[in-house]
């Protein structure tokens, strides 16, 4: 759904699982730090709001968005997490670099989901300009970090229910 039709921070809090025993990884790109920092803040606040313990949230930083895939893989292999939230921001420039980075990170995160059979949540903004990014990092369209956090919680809950044979 197009962001201009939905606020990224809107969700039904009554449908959220209690995250008190969830272990979460967040991998954040340092490139476009003003944006990615706001995404990370939003994600952390949402996780804490739903019961995640601060000591169960493991945050790591990588230089840029392209490095998020390996950072997420390293997090999954070394941090005993139930899900990894991947946060970055790619802003369209004058060259095709934008296309290659967006394609690489999208494919990489998809592969990680399948390889590790655990949720890797795509919280990467791919915008045409800085203002669009700001609008989606706590601005008029909400915060993609919030969306990534509640998606992670719902996916952990779904995976646990299915593993335990709990009806959905």
**Domain coordinates of the chain in residue numbers?**
41-128+138-157
CA dihedral 130, 133, 135, 136 (to 10 degrees): 180
Q: Output the CA torsion sign for 56, 62, 68, 72.
A: negative
The set of catalytic residues is 97
Collapse the DSSP code of 81 into the 3-class scheme (helix H, G, I; strand E, B; otherwise coil) and give the result: coil
Residues in the chain: 168
pLDDT band at 44 (very low <50, low <70, confident <90, very high): very high
CA 43 to chain CA centroid, Å, is: 7
Percent of the chain with pLDDT over 90: 85
Q: Which two tokens stand for residue 65?
A: 């968005």
- What's the whole-number mean pLDDT along residues 123-130? 97
User: Please, are residues 39 and 89 in contact by the beta-carbon 8 Å criterion?
Assistant: yes
Report residue 110 as tokens: 């998809």
Question: Each residue of 137-155: b (16+ CB within 10 Å) or e?
Answer: bbeebbbbbbbbbbbbbbb
CATH number of 41-128+138-157: 3.40.50.960
Q: pLDDT tens across 82-109, in order?
A: 999 999 999 998 888 999 999 999 999 9
Query: 9-13, 25-29, 45-49: which has the minimum mean pLDDT?
Result: 9-13
């Amino acid at each position: 759904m197009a962001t201009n039709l939905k606020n990224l921070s809107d969700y039904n809090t009554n449908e959220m699982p209690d995250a008190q025993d969830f272990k979460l990884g967040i991998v954040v790109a340092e490139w476009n730090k003003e944006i990615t920092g706001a995404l990370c803040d939003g994600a952390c606040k949402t996780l804490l709001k739903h019961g995640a313990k601060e000591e169960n949230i493991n945050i790591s930083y990588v230089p840029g968005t392209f490095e998020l895939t390996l950072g997420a893989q390293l997090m999954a292999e070394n941090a005993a997490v139930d899900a990894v939230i991947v946060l970055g921001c790619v802003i369209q420039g004058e060259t095709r670099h934008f296309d290659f980075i967006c394609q690489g990170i999208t494919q990489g995160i998809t592969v990680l989901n399948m390889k590790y059979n655990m949720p890797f949540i795509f919280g990467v903004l791919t915008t045409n300009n800085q203002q669009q990014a700001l609008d989606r990092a706590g601005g008029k369209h909400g915060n993609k970090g919030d969306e990534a956090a509640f998606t992670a919680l719902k996916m952990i809950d779904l995976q646990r229910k299915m593993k335990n044979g709990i009806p959905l």
